[in-house]
Amino acid sequence: MSRLAKLPTGAPRRAPAPGVAVVVALVLTGCTTASDGETLTVLAAASLREPFAALETTFEETHPDVDVRMSFGGSSDLADQIEAGAPADVVATADEPTMDRLSDAGLVATPTVFATNVLTVVVPAGNPAGVEDLADLGRRDVDVVLCAPEVPCGRAAAAVLDAADVTPHTVSAEPSVTDVLAKVALGEADAGLVYVTDAATEPDDVETVPTPAAADVVNRYPLAVLADPPAPDLAEQWVTLVTGREGRSALSEAGFGTP
């Protein structure tokens, strides 16, 4: 495996957020590929794990000398990593404001919106708290877990709840939608708001509650090549895959909507 190329010294930097320096260090020291191959590094919102994992397999099958290295997390954390200098080729976020932050800093090329997503209420299997609708998240006997407000799913949840005039009994604010889903699936909370695509990945451990109000709050997912990526040709080919027929098929199968 060959060492990842360094980000150019002229790229803008800001002081790493707490914990980000550790992530960057791990990326810099832990990512190697075969000496006769290339690496494509993709940073993606946690909610994209399923379709992007499928597309990773597709890409590597058509590029046998390429190792696609995926890193999933909260969109704001991914932006922190890029601003702190983590080497990457492509980034996909779960909303446009987070991508705008990178675009305004000159860290990415022109983004392309490639998918949409909406939220739904999820409860543990069996719905022990008897949550029947979005309004029940305001009950004092219902422990609710949400994404943190700086994360796209957190901003979307706030918009849905505000529009419905519901003040949730929040017991935890998580850094990514997959963390919210995990807490609900484990029964550590009575309800949560996650993307419909994430809810579909845990059919045995969570149930969805009809959430019609969420249809009015749509997250648009943008994808962009970094301003000066280590593997620019591969980065463009990844964007072509994601936005093309195979990408749309994988995204649709996972429950994402079209732009």
Per-residue pLDDT tens for 226-247? 999 999 999 999 999 999 999 9
Q: What is the mean pLDDT of residues 35-64?
A: 93
Quick: pLDDT tens for 53-89. 999 999 999 999 999 999 999 999 999 999 999 999 9
Which residue has better confidence, 182 or 2?
Answer: 182
Of the candidates 136, 108, 133, which has an alpha carbon nearest to the alpha carbon of residue 211? 133
CA geometry: angle 136, 214, 45, nearest 5 deg:
110
Q: What is the pLDDT of residue 6?
A: 33
Q: What is the pLDDT of residue 169?
A: 97
Q: What is the pLDDT of residue 24?
A: 42
pTM score of the predicted model = 0.83
Give the per-residue SS3 of the chain: CCECCCCCCCCCCCCCCCCHHHHHHHHHHHCECCCCCEEEEEEEEHHHHHHHHHHHHHHHHHCCCEEEEEEEECHHHHHHHHHCCCCCCEEECCCHHHHHHHHHCCCECCCEEEEEECEEEEEECCCCCCCCCHHHHHCCCCCEEEECCCCHHHHHHHHHHHHCCCCCCEEEEECCHHHHHHHHHCCCCCEEEEEHHHHCCCCCCEEEECCHHHHHCCEEEEEEEECCCCCHHHHHHHHHHHHCHHHHHHHHHCCCECC
**% residues pLDDT > 90 (the chain):** 85
Q: What is the mean pLDDT of residues 9-33?
A: 39
pLDDT band for position 37 (cuts 50, 70, 90): confident
Architecture of domain 119-216: 3-Layer(aba) Sandwich (3.40)
**% residues pLDDT > 70 (the chain):** 86
130 φψ region: left (φ > 0), alpha (ψ -120 to 50), beta (else): left
Is residue 221 a contact partner of residue 115, using CB atoms and an 8 Å limit? yes
pLDDT band for position 29 (cuts 50, 70, 90): very low
Is residue 253 a contact partner of residue 117, using CB atoms and an 8 Å limit? no
Task: Round the average pLDDT of the chain to a whole number and report it.
Answer: 89
Quick: pLDDT tens for 165-211. 999 999 999 999 999 999 999 999 999 999 999 999 999 999 999 99
**Do the domains 20-115+221-253 and 119-216 sit in the same CATH topology, yes or no?**
yes
- The two structure tokens encoding residue 89: 């080729």
Tokens 């069996």 belong to 126
Architecture of domain 20-115+221-253: 3-Layer(aba) Sandwich (3.40)
102: pLDDT strictly greater than 50: yes
Domain boundaries defined on the chain = 20-115+221-253, 119-216
